[in-house]
Amino acid sequence: MTADDLAEVVALEARVQAFPWSIGNFRDALAAGNDCRVGREDGKLVAFVVTMPAVDEVHLLVIAVTPERQRAGLASRLLNLVCAEARAAGMARMLLEVRPSNAAALAFYNRAGFAEIGRRRGYYPAPVAMGGREDAIVMARTL
């Protein structure tokens, strides 16, 4: 991912997230040196992933696939790639947070070998009908 990709990345993020990252969030991730990847098919952005290394573990910050290409294995390929590279760099595990209401993501992460290790209360913004905040399930996978 480069700065030239950000308009497409932000557009994809807005299509798949109720509370999407802003272009500033992605710029900050690039500037911080986080591992930011895009996946393209025929030149068109179809997926992206952002991870952040932290001493001996890596944090999955965001992963997304365009709705038209979901359930085609793209997220699994991106996740396997960043996990393999983190393992090769000496990282022991990957962490992530996911909304309890995101059943599809929870199923995906469980299939990928992640397990719940905790909760962050009121971590995510949420619709007022949900009380304005939603917990995060913290998950981890040994690399």
Question: Counting every residue, how long is the chain?
Answer: 143
The b-or-e profile of 3-31 (16+ CB within 10 A means b, else e) is eebbebbbebbeeeeeebbeeeebeebbe
Is 85 a known active-site residue?
A: no
The helix/strand count (H/E) of the chain reads as 4, 6
User: How many Cβ atoms from other residues are within 10 Å of residue 41's Cβ?
Assistant: 12
Tell me how far the alpha carbon of residue 22 is from its chain's centroid. Answer: 14
Give the separation between CA 118 and CA 137, rounded to whole angstroms: 6
| Per annotation, catalytic residue among 8, 57, 85, 97 | 97
Annotation says 97 is catalytic: yes
What residues are labeled active site? 97, 109
